[in-house]
């Protein structure tokens, strides 16, 4: 351990336990670092999955965040949960990233910059004020670019530290805009093993078994494209080795009309399916960010309400931790704890388990460098495909060529992502404006310049210095 640094470790009623002693008695010695843990974005789901794991007990869990106050709250709650379960983990916390990364095996990063929800609303409103018809402004559209401008520099600093301090570690990125952040990771590092994870695939995980009257574990389906911009290409019942795409095609339009959900599959999804012949899996509000006609099939009020809902979910997670912390301080903590008793469905912990066990795990959706996976998309790109997991990390499934009409749409977004990442890495004002101007939801360079000027003024404290 680095001299003259402090790591706070509480075990067995608050007594300090040495790392050496821990190594002697624990069956597994992995160090898992959670970056951004103080924001409670990891929430009960990530920690619940850790406590449900049969593979990872014995590992050290390091909680890292720059917000000391919130980090302390999360740490004390998680340490109590750990004690309830007879201390399967050593739980540590630190505000020093370089200390956190020492000897790390896995890093899960879920950072955001500034007040995420306040900035998200600005990402949506500023472009629309200047004439853009973007619908959401999270991962795509000019708002997605503004989001990327803010967050990429900080993620790049983190991954470059990872390469210096723990070059053999495996990095899992959960931060949006996922594809652009992961592309920046790819270009800013040399040999880092990483993956980007998004839970959008859960829509299909829920609906396909219901539509087809099949168990999810018997369904093998291929969804490919870009994050929040992918399409269902193949669907098989593995228990019978039966192609289910004909049945899906027969039932899908009626099923998703009957199960219309403005936050999932609604008018835009059905329109794309009808026009393109392939079903888009992310849901209306997400895929609509990348299309110049997204606003024609969505309602402004629904998009605003979606952002409000995400704000409420995040706030509820924080309140939940704060309430548990207050109970803990009063000696009235719930005897069974606050964690879930079933897997959350998030894939970060299962992927770490598969790497540790070299168990040939299968993932329905991962974001990885293209590197020959999809032939008719740029190779220097992050694509979303199914993947496998082993001791060497996550490996994307080769798709070959996408249907020409889908590939054409995706290449437009790929070009925008390319310019966006280069703008941040080179700190180029011209490329930043070109990113906005190239977007399908921006009509002119004048509009792009107006969006850029206002965003740089209003969000000055969070933006990089472009020149």
CB 298 within 8 A of CB 268: yes
> What is residue 166's DSSP assignment?
-
Pairing of strands 31-35, 60-64: parallel
199 is known as an active-site residue:
yes
Dist. CA 188–CA 408, nearest whole Å? 27
| Catalytic residue from among 154, 199, 218, 395 | 199
Query: Strand 170-173 to strand 106-109: parallel, antiparallel, or no bridges (unpaired)?
Result: parallel
Distance CA 187, CA 465 (A): 19
| In the block, residue with structure tokens 């000696």 | 331
Q: Which residues on neighbouring strands pair with residue 183, listed in sequence order?
A: none
Structure token pair of residue 176? 């949006």
SS3 for 334? coil
SS3 224: strand
Residues in the chain: 467
> Residue 395 to residues 195, 204, 361: CA-CA distances in angstroms?
9, 22, 10
Give the span between the Cα atoms of 416 and 419, in whole angstroms.
Answer: 5
User: What is the rounded CA–CA span in Å between residue 305 and residue 329?
Assistant: 36
Which candidate, 310, 254, 308, 263, places its Cα nearest to that of 287?
Answer: 263
Which run of H or of E encompasses 9? strand 8-9
* Gap between the Cα atoms of 36 and 112, Å rounded: 8
Report the alpha-carbon distance of residue 422 to residue 442 in Å, rounded: 19
Q: List the catalytic residues.
A: 199
């Amino acid at each position: 351990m680095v001299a003259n640094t402090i790591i706070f470790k509480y075990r067995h009623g608050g007594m300090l336990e040495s790392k050496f002693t821990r190594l002697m008695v624990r069956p597994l010695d992995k160090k898992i670092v959670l970056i951004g843990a103080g924001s409670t974005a990891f929430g009960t789901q990530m920690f619940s999955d850790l406590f449900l794991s049969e593979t990872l007990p014995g590992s050290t869990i390091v909680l890292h965040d720059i917000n000391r106050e919130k980090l302390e709250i999360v740490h004390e709650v998680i340490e109590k949960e750990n004690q309830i379960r007879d201390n399967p983990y050593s739980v540590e916390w630190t505000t020093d990233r370089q200390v956190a990364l020492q000897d790390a095996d896995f890093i899960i990063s879920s950072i955001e910059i500034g007040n995420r929800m306040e900035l998200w609303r600005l990402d949506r409103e500023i472009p629309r004020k200047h004439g853009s018809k973007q619908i959401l402004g999270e991962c795509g559209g000019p708002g997605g670019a503004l989001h990327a401008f803010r967050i990429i520099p900080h993620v790049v600093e983190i991954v470059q530290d990872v390469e210096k301090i723990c070059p053999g570690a495996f990095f899992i990125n959960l931060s949006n805009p996922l594809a652009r952040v992961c592309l920046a990771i790819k270009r800013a590092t040399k040999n880092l093993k990483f993956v980007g994870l998004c839970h959008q695939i859960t829509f299909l995980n829920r609906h396909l078994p219901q539509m087809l009257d099949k168990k999810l574990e018997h369904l093998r389906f291929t969804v490919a494209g870009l994050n929040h911009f992918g399409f269902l290409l193949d669907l098989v019942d593995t228990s019978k080795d039966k192609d289910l795409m004909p049945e899906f095609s027969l039932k899908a339009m009626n099923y998703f009309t009957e199960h219309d959900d403005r936050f999932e599959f609604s008018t835009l999804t059905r329109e794309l399916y009808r026009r393109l012949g392939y079903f888009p899996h992310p849901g209306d509000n997400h895929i609509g960010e990348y299309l110049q006609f997204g606003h024609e099939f969505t309602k402004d009020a629904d998009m605003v309400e979606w952002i409000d809902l995400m704000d409420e979910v995040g706030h509820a997670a924080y309140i939940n931790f704060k309430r548990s912390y207050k109970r803990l301080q009063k000696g009235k903590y719930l005897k069974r704890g606050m964690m879930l008793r079933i897997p959350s469905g998030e894939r970060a912990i299962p992927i770490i388990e598969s790497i540790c066990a070299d168990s040939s795990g299968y993932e329905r959706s991962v974001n990885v460098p293209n590197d020959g996976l999809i032939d008719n998309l740029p190779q220097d790109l992050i694509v979303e495909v199914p993947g496998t997991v082993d001791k060497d990390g996550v490996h994307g499934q080769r798709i070959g060529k996408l249907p020409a009409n889908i590939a054409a749409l995706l290449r437009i977004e790929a070009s925008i992502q390319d310019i966006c990442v280069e703008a941040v890495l080179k700190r180029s004002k011209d490329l930043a404006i070109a990113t906005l101007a190239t977007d399908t939801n921006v009509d002119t360079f004048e509009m792009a310049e107006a969006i850029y000027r206002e965003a740089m003024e209003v969000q000055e404290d969070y933006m990089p210095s472009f020149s």
